């Protein structure tokens, strides 16, 4: 087809991963462009996202879309026919709940997770507790469903939360805890998501992330 879809990404990014997973789950062809966001940003990135200068950016027929969850909704709206997976419900109320959980995850999981490796002592302990607490809230929300999106397919909420999974190993190792111990049913959901090729092939390798973080800690002498 004449559609041109380009994604500007940075391989460890949970925000970029959910955009890639959305494209893969909906079987949309796209061109992947890696950005060295903490080094030299390309002119394409600076022109495509002049306000925040961040990845991910989706460029659809030359038009840039920024902010990961806005990109996922755009993808869901633009590519929708009866044989394409829908990532958000069409019912306004159900859609509002989907947005609520995606927003909560990006507020809480990102912040607490990051502090499990950037803080030490009491602050690290607090971050660990917060992280485990939000996972428990999410495990309760999942309940007996297979996915957050229901029993047969993933939704935007599943993609947003699973996009953090590659970071769990780092947070558990540095933080000294195990997600499995606290939220076994959420671990089952993770394993279920990872059986989906569109998800497993789009997520960065947890060990590569761990290596990168340990390098950052050494270089910045965080502690």
Ligand X SMILES: N[C@@H](CCC(=O)N[C@@H](CSO)C(=O)NCC(=O)O)C(=O)O
Q: Are 65 and 75 in contact (CB under 8 A)?
A: no
> Helix, strand, coil: what percent of the chain each, to 5?
60, 10, 35
Phi-psi region of 53 (alpha: psi -120 to 50; beta: other; left: phi over 0): left
Query: Distance between CA 5 and CA 55 in Å, rounded?
Result: 15
Q: Give me the least distance between CB of 196 and ligand X, in Å please.
A: 22
| Cβ nearer to ligand X, comparing 15 with 131 | 15
Helix (H) or strand (E) holding 18: helix 14-25
| Cβ nearer to ligand X, comparing 175 with 204 | 204
160 token code pair: 């947003």
| Cβ nearer to ligand X, comparing 95 with 114 | 114
Where does this chain bind ligand X (CB under 6 A)? 10, 13, 15, 37, 53-56, 67-68
| Cβ nearer to ligand X, comparing 15 with 74 | 15
Q: Give me the least distance between CB of 12 and ligand X, in Å please.
A: 7
Q: Give me the least distance between CB of 136 and ligand X, in Å please.
A: 24
Q: Give me the least distance between CB of 56 and ligand X, in Å please.
A: 6
């Amino acid at each position: 087809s004449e559609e041109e879809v380009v994604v500007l990404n940075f391989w460890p990014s949970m925000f970029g991963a959910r955009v890639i997973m959305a494209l893969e789950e909906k079987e949309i062809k796209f061109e992947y462009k890696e950005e060295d966001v903490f080094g030299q940003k390309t002119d394409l990135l600076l022109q495509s996202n002049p306000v925040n200068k961040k990845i991910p950016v989706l460029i659809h027929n030359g038009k840039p879309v920024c902010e990961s969850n806005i990109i996922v909704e755009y993808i869901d709206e633009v590519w929708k026919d009866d044989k394409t997976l829908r990532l958000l419900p069409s019912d306004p109320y159900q859609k509002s709940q989907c947005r609520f959980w995606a927003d909560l995850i990006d507020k809480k999981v990102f912040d607490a997770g990051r502090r499990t490796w950037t803080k030490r002592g009491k602050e690290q302990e607090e971050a660990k507790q917060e992280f485990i607490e939000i996972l428990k809230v999410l495990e309760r929300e999942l309940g007996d469903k297979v996915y957050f999106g229901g029993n047969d397919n993933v939704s935007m909420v599943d993609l947003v939360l699973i996009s953090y999974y590659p970071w769990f190993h780092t947070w558990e190792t540095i933080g000294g805890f195990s997600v499995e111990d606290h939220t076994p049913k959420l671990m089952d959901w993770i394993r279920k998501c990872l059986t989906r090729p569109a998800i497993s092939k789009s997520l960065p390798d947890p060990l590569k992330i761990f290596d990168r973080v340990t390098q950052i800690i050494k270089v910045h002498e965080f502690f």
